[in-house]
Amino acid sequence: MTNFKYRLRRLDQTPFMTVGLIVIMVLVFLAMTLAGGSTSVNVLITFGAKLNPLIQQGEWWRLFTPMFLHIGFTHILMNMVTLYFVGMQIEAAFGHTRFLAMFLVAGVGGNIASFCFSNSLSAGASTAIFGLFGAFMMLGESFWQNPVIRQLARTFLAFVVMNIAFDLFTPGIDLAGHLGGLAAGFLVAYTVGVPRIGKVSPIKRVVATIVLIGGLVWLYLHGMAQ
């Protein structure tokens, strides 16, 4: 019985959701490479990249699938390294299920924002990764009195500011997707809560949930109407 409890504790401390997401994305990248190359527009469209006209024609799942696709080796390498180091910290703080929920909601949220504000074909886990940065911002706001969390929040806030500044001066970067993912991650972190660290105000959770759902619905409908 003691050995079983030890194994459960070890499993709970292992970032298996983060690792699992990385494995899935690497496998998808390999499949894209074998299908003709991850930089091929046709391959990207076939595998589910975000393309506004197709979403407007009813292929709504393209708001979900892009977070698992990457364009070129450098793109997936940078995203997977970032996902591993950020993901393992967020997964440890929020727990496996909450972490996965935040990752997926932030990814979809970022893609909906991109759908609304950008006509370019896009793909990548950056929308969801920015959502994890948003979760760090939520921790910093809710548990500012904790010196460790406060320092981490400051560090990631600086990192986010630098990344957004980089986005502004780099052609082809989906800034709308990054900002949408950041906002969605910040809000959904309140929605799911973080019982491993402490309680979050019920009012904040309700307001964040309403703003999150209302904002995503508005962006989606606005994108469909364009």
Nearest to 191 by CA among 92, 124, 109, 82: 109
Task: For residue 50, give the 3-state DSSP assignment.
Answer: strand
Which DSSP category does 154 fall into?
H
Beta partners for residue 50, in sequence order: 122
Nearest to 188 by CA among 164, 210, 166, 219: 210
The DSSP H or E segment spanning 101 is helix 96-117
| Catalytic residue status for 126 | yes
Q: Who's near 223: CB < 8 A, 6+ residues apart?
A: 52, 55, 56, 112, 115, 116
Q: Is 133 exposed, middle or buried (0-12, 13-18, 19+ CB in 10 A)?
A: buried
> Which is the catalytic residue, given 38, 114, 122, 126?
126
Q: Could you give the CA distance from residue 139 to residue 149 in angstroms, rounded to a whole number? A: 7
> Which is the catalytic residue, given 70, 114, 142, 178?
178
The DSSP H or E segment spanning 189 is helix 175-192
Report the greatest alpha carbon distance in the chain: 60
Q: Which residues are catalytically annotated?
A: 126, 178
